[in-house]
Amino acid sequence: MADQDSVPIPRKGFHMESMDGEAVIYRHIARKAIYLNESAAVVWQLCDGNRSIREIVDMLAEAYPGARDELSVDVMEAVERLEREGALRIKPTGSN
C-alpha cells in the first residue's frame, strides 16, 4: 500500500489519449485500456516517476487551495487504482 512519500512510476508501454473530455490510458501490446475521469487523468499526467504522492498533492493544492484534504484522498485513490490495474508501480518510501 502506498503512503504519501511513495513515488508512483508509470509502467512502460502505457499511453494516454484524450478525446471529447474523456481520457483513456492503454497498453497496445497487452490490449489493456483503463478509462479515467478528469481528476484521475490529471494524476496520471503528474506521475512522472520522480514526484511523490505528497508532491503531486502539493502541486494540485496550489491550484485548488482549501481542497487539500479532498485532493489527498482523490490522489491516493487514483494512484491505488492505477497500481491495481497495472499502469503504475509504487516505489516505497526510502527505496532507490
Res 2: pLDDT:
79
Sorted by where each starts, the structural domains of the chain and their CATH numbers stand as 7-90 (1.10.10.1150)
CA distance 96 to 86: 20
Q: Kindly report the pTM of this predicted structure.
A: 0.88
Interval 6-38: pLDDT, tens: 999 999 999 999 988 789 999 888 788 999 998
- For the cut 70, the answer to whether the pLDDT of residue 95 exceeds it is no
Interval 45-82: pLDDT, tens: 999 999 999 999 999 999 998 898 999 999 999 999 99
What is the DSSP track for the chain? ---TT-EEEEPTTEEEEEETTEEEEEETTTTEEEEE-HHHHHHHHH--SSS-HHHHHHHHHHHSTT-HHHHHHHHHHHHHHHHHTTSEEEE-TT--
Question: In terms of Cα–Cα distance, which of 4, 28, 6, 19 is closest to 92?
Answer: 6
